[in-house]
Amino acid sequence: MSQTDWTDVKNLAASAPDIRSLFTADADRFTRFSAHGAGILLDYSKTSLTDESLAALLRLAREAGVETKRDAMFTGEIINITEQRAVLHTALRAPANASILVAGRNVVPDVWETLDRFLTFAEAVRGGSIAASDGKAFTDVVNIGIGGSDLGPAMVTGALAPYHDGPHLHFVSNVDSAHLADTLRELDPARTLFIVASKTFTTVETMTNAGSARHWLAKALGEDAVGAHFCAVSTALDKCAAFGIAPDRIFGFWDWVGGRYSVWSSVGLPVAIAIGATNFRAFLAGAREMDEHFRTAPLEQNLPVLLALVGVWHRDGLGYPARAILPYDQRLSRFAAYLQQLDMESNGKRVTREGEPVAHATGPLVFGEPGTNGQHAFYQLIHQGTDVIPCEFYIAAQGHEPELAAHHDLLIANCLAQMQALLLGRTLSEAGGNPHRVFPGNRPSLVTAYEKLDPATMGKLIALYEHRVFTEAALWNINAFDQWGVELGKELATRLLPVVEGKQKAAADSSTAGLVSFLRGSGAAPQPV
Ligand SMILES: O=P(O)(O)OC[C@H]1O[C@H](O)[C@H](O)[C@@H](O)[C@@H]1O
């Protein structure tokens, strides 16, 4: 990629206009700086982008080979070079007649066969034909998993609560015993099904929680009941079997599905149990529609690409360190946490695909909470703090409670008001000369708007963000599909466990040794060796 285009973007950003002046100068700004795709509206007019800067960013995208890289992903090329893997979460929602080859083999029939299997299982749990050891239906399902094996199903199950007509769902992720204990306290072992979800089936948190859950169940119902009350989701089928799970209760997926991209696979089993097979297929179909949009829409009107270009403009052009994810949708209360993993684990990288230090800032800090709650908490800093934080709003035209329509009007009014406040601000004279009441304004926001948060829309919103992350990574020339940054802490935890258990002397710095001493109450700090 030529250095000139990055320089162009940075130069244009250095003289970025005041966003307010762009609206004054152009009555059509909303029409010209918004786009539609797959039934979703993206309004990026409340940013400092101009025709010129957008053109420079589009040049950057073309020079970075975004289209070629995108096609390489969709066709199953080995684009995750550090792990030598294809990246094919899109194959999980591909039409049945598609052909996507991995090592010469079409993976789509396997995907559909597995989908049919886990959806049939989900329906059987919902209908009671897959039953507990006493032959009665399950009333509660506990998903034990962490990271990608937790956040996706937990977030989507919460988001689609109005479609939830199956057993109650619970999610246990943290190795902190509080999480398992607080969940199990409410449950009857005789009515509870556990899903152990782990791509690798080695993740220590999940294996520890699964072992303790198994013990809880066996203690109440006897060892023989365990088989009826457990199922598993993993790529490591042999390890599931070794845990004692029957083959017809093990649902696989493939190494070309990253954990944070896996909700479309059998990792989505809890979602399917909650909302049923038809709604789950609608969720996949929504994502497929966004995939088609991403694959075929010109870059100028391509929602994920535009979202990525705005992201790069804010991060690299203007140097903003963070992005706030602000869904005005209470059911998206785990959306920011979900996107945090999707975005920060994908694009929190400091070397290029070739292993050289990156020349540009990469993924920003991602955080957020649903509106209107966030307004009464951290928006203060967003409006008057010293950092500019681009805000990314999400809002539906309709809620799911027509009898409470007045709430939704208020929700929309609040969402629009926040964006307007960020844009317009309040001058010193408007603030009656009181500097504490001044809002600088000229603070950027985007909004993604949709008709209603139904299963298809949920699929579209996730796929939109997945492809945004992909496009940003393509522009930065980083590998979005590995996550080596999580390894070191895991290794050190394994090494420190015997020290914490008092079986080994502290092989550590004096701070670690002092803390072990305090936390284990052994008096004097063990000396580093
Ligand atoms: O599904 P698992 O193999 O248990 O992995 C769960 C999670 O743990 C890891 O630490 C990774 O950082 C995540 O990407 C992954 O989703």
Instruction: Residue 492: give its domain's CATH number.
Output: 1.10.1390.10
Same structural domain for residues 475 and 505? no
Same structural domain for residues 461 and 401? yes
Does some domain include residue 124? Answer: yes
Residue 199 has a pLDDT of 95
Cα gap 342→263, rounded to integer Å? 11
- Both tokens of residue 360? 């540009």
Residue 507 has a pLDDT of 65
| 339 closest CA partner among 440, 244, 260 | 260
Minimal-distance CA residue to ligand 1 atom 8: 147
Does some domain include residue 1? Answer: no
Position in ligand 1 atom list of the atom nearest CA 341: 14
pTM beyond 0.95: yes
Residue 527 has a pLDDT of 54
Same structural domain for residues 119 and 235? yes
Which residues of the chain fall short of a pLDDT of 50? 529
Does some domain include residue 95? Answer: no
Cα gap 346→484, rounded to integer Å? 10
Q: Which of 36, 219, 376, 452 is catalytic?
A: 376
Find the 325 Cα to ligand 1 centroid distance in Å.
23
- Total tally of structural domains belonging to the chain: 3
Domain edge (last residue) among 278, 313, 344:
278
Cα gap 488→255, rounded to integer Å? 21
Find the 307 Cα to ligand 1 centroid distance in Å.
26
- Both tokens of residue 520? 């284990």
Same structural domain for residues 52 and 132? no
Does some domain include residue 399? Answer: yes
Residue 508 has a pLDDT of 74
Peptide bond into 203 cis (omega under 30): no
Q: Give residue 500's domain range.
A: 486-520
Same structural domain for residues 203 and 329? no
The response to whether residue 260 sits with its C-beta less than 6 Å from ligand 1 reads yes
Same structural domain for residues 349 and 480? yes
Domain edge (last residue) among 278, 304, 319:
278
Same structural domain for residues 130 and 153? yes
Position in ligand 1 atom list of the atom nearest CA 490: 10
Predicted confidence (pLDDT) per residue in 60-108, tens digit: 999 999 999 999 999 999 999 999 999 999 999 999 999 999 999 999 9
Same structural domain for residues 476 and 497? no
Does some domain include residue 96? Answer: no
Same structural domain for residues 370 and 407? yes
Same structural domain for residues 209 and 318? no
ipTM for this model: 0.98
Asked if residues 197 and 243 have their Cβ atoms less than 8 Å apart, the reply is no
Residue 163 sits in a domain of what CATH number? 3.40.50.10490
360 belongs to the catalytic site:
no
CA 437 to chain centre: 36
Residue 3 has a pLDDT of 72
Residue 5 has a pLDDT of 86
Domain edge (last residue) among 258, 278, 298:
278
Q: Strand pairing of 365-368 and 322-328?
A: parallel
Give Cβ neighbours of residue 491 (< 8 Å, ≥ 6 apart): none
Same structural domain for residues 342 and 268? no
Does some domain include residue 467? Answer: yes
Q: Which of 123, 205, 289, 345 is catalytic?
A: 345
Distances (CA, A) of 505 to 470, 489, 497, 511, 520: 45, 19, 11, 14, 13
Find the 237 Cα to ligand 1 centroid distance in Å.
16
Distances (CA, A) of 322 to 178, 364, 497: 31, 5, 35
The response to whether residue 206 sits with its C-beta less than 6 Å from ligand 1 reads yes
Does some domain include residue 103? Answer: no
- Sheet hosting strand 322-328, strand order edge to edge: 34-37, 40-43, 445-450, 391-396, 322-328, 365-368
Cα gap 364→344, rounded to integer Å? 7
Residue 505 has a pLDDT of 84
369 belongs to the catalytic site:
no
Same structural domain for residues 34 and 134? no
Find the 76 Cα to ligand 1 centroid distance in Å.
22
Find the 148 Cα to ligand 1 centroid distance in Å.
6
451 belongs to the catalytic site:
no
Minimal-distance CA residue to ligand 1 atom 13: 147
Does some domain include residue 93? Answer: no
